[in-house]
Structure 1
Amino acid sequence: MQELRYRSQSPQVRELQVRLRLAKYLALYDVEERFGMVTRDAVLKFQRDNGLRATGVVNPPTWTALQARTRAPTEAELNNTDIGAWFVAPEQAGYMMELQHRLRQVGLYQGAVDGNFNAATRRAIEAWRVRIGLPASEVIDERTWTPLLRRTRNPRYADLFDAPPASTLVQQLDPRCAVGKVVCVSKKQQKMSYVVDGKVRFTREARFAMPGWQGPDGEFRIWYMNSDTVSRIFGERTPMPYAIFYEGNVAIHYSQDFADKGYAGGSHGCSQLRDYQVAKWLYEQLKVVDRVVVY
């Protein structure tokens, strides 16, 4: 193979970037022929993690190691037309209702906003993908979802639902949760409650960090909120819908992985919910400077 290095320009750089993405070292969803600094940093990290000389140059030993850890890219991946995983699974009725509302805004869906993944919704998804120059498919992956966000408004919770999420769970609250508006997060009980002046508005199951990634305990103030966050910190693109950041990069957010795997997985420090409707509702109740108590 020809060595690849910073500022190289070659079709093989596309394959390099796809393989680094598959190995969870490069959080891109569009690859290109230019070998830039982001790619160089990913190569350096891969070399360090795999006992190779860390030069940032893709030489034969580095390429062989990368090939051994990844599969061959598809043509769709190389040409940025691949159909990735759903941004949020269609089993989440709250997400499907939001999707239907947005597809209605762009004139492609006229059915009921009911969260059903029915034939009319499938046709609208296919039409949207074709409109933005992607292959026809019934999947809303990130490449499909992001342009839809840019061309539509996010419907309010009240546009989709008649009442707040039902709540039947009980959480033993920390005393700091008795005053004001606060999200009360109990790692031991694996629960999260939204509390206003001591009155619990809802309680839900929550999931926390994998071993070695425990987030901080304490009392915090929300410093940033973003409904469409995609994390790129850990070498892959991880959707974090309705992210509520309360300590650095640590946030409360919806997690598809939690919905799929339950407590078999874990976060990198975040507090996760597995119901999209609940995450959307909670997000709308809060604002920057509101409190989060983690104990």
Structure 2
Amino acid sequence: MRVRTAVLRSSIAVTGVLTLVGGCTAQAVEKGAPAQKPTSSPSPSQPDDGKPSASASATPKPPPKVLLAPGDSSKDVRELQARLRQVAWLYNGPTGTYDDVTADAVKGFQGKRGLPRTGETDTVTWRRLLNMTHEPGKWELYQFGGQPPAKPDPRCMTGRVLCISKTSRTLAWMVDGRRVLTTDVRFGSQYTPTREGVFHVDFKSRHHVSTLYDTPMPYAMFFSGGQAVHYSTDFAARGYAGASHGCVNVKDERTIARLFAQVKNGDKVVVYW
């Protein structure tokens, strides 16, 4: 056993010598010449302290790319908000603006899933949200308005017209084919639908109160019997979760105040799909 061990050690020593002089081609070594000692300086990948150098360590993984962040305003933000509503992390909007409420909702979603609570929507956060939600439809994206206005009906292209689209749920105040202002509107329910067609403003009432429903109708502009364009606090608070009794509701009080000041009795009203 000792003899075999000695032979193995001798073979290892010879192999070591050959390894030291080995390269692309073998070189002759003078018999009896001492083996070349390694230099005292460390190799580039091994510093003096024995610890791996920065170049030898693993490359740090870059952070995920940020897709949306506070301050952004776009349709993509609106989709983010609609999806956050689906998983009950957001209850307002969608508005299309990445505000503080949206950032807090994103932080909550991230923290619940062990992700860094940045409040920014990065690729990892977005992927997790996509896997938990369905693609929002138009109704979900525009629960509180903000939908682009529809193409004006041809009947809106001449004169002074309140051009009201049921498809985009918008009202455009138009003068001689030019859109002066646009605002979100809400219509009646299936039981009290808003009439469609061409009408005219019959009369205006700044502080009107409905005699039928005993509810305020500020900035009312009547165009078909008891149906009018007017400001609605319920629309401002609940969005499209509610409906009118047939009137055209406006939720932006400043906009309808401007509209009320410009519209005159006799101006045309077009309600169309």
**TM-score normalized by structure 1?**
0.42
**Structure ID, larger Rg:** 2
**TM-score normalized by structure 2?**
0.45
Higher share of residues assigned helix: 1
Which has the higher relative contact order, 1 or 2, with Cα contacts under 8 A spaced 6 or more apart?
1
